Amino acid sequence: MQTRPLRKNAYLKVVWNKNKGVTGYEEVEKSAIPKAAQEKLTKG
């Protein structure tokens, strides 16, 4: 996995394993986030 600095206001898709925790991530567009999750982001 290549390490890159995180950008401010970037959206990340996190790959999580029950035994290992976070195993990876990738930056995604806001439109790729499910609507239910987008609603929670705008409330917070």
Contacts of residue 32, Cβ cutoff 8 Å, sequence gap at least 6: 11, 13
pLDDT digits (tens, 9 = 90+) for 17-41: 999 999 999 999 999 999 999 999 8
The pLDDT, as a whole number, for residue 31 is 92
* Angstrom distance (rounded) from CA 38 to CA 44: 10
d(CA 22, CA 1) in angstroms, rounded, equals 12
**How far is Cα 6 from Cα 25, in angstroms, rounded to an integer?**
11
Question: 2-22: per-residue pLDDT in tens?
Answer: 677 888 889 999 999 999 999
Q: What integer pLDDT is reported at residue 37 of this predicted model?
A: 92
Whether the pLDDT of residue 44 is over 80: the answer is: no
